[in-house]
Amino acid sequence: MPKLSATPGGIRSTAPRLGEDTVAVLKRAGVKAETIADLRAKDVI
C-alpha cells in the first residue's frame, strides 16, 4: 500500500449543519427566490 506521508490529509472545515446550506443548494438547482420564500413560509425548509 502506498503511503501519502509527503501530503498528509487534514480537515479544512467541518461539514455544514443540517439545513445550513439548503438555500444555497436550492439556488444552485435553479429554484427561484420566491419559491424558496414560499417553502420557508410553509415551514418546509
Alpha-carbon distance of 16 to 35, in angstroms, equals 23
Question: What pLDDT digit, counting tens, does each position of 1-45 carry?
Answer: 667 777 777 888 888 899 999 999 999 999 999 999 999 999 999
Where are the domains positioned within the chain?
Answer: 19-45
Query: What does the alpha-carbon distance between residue 45 and residue 42 come to, in Å, rounded to a whole number?
Result: 8
pLDDT at position 3, please?
72
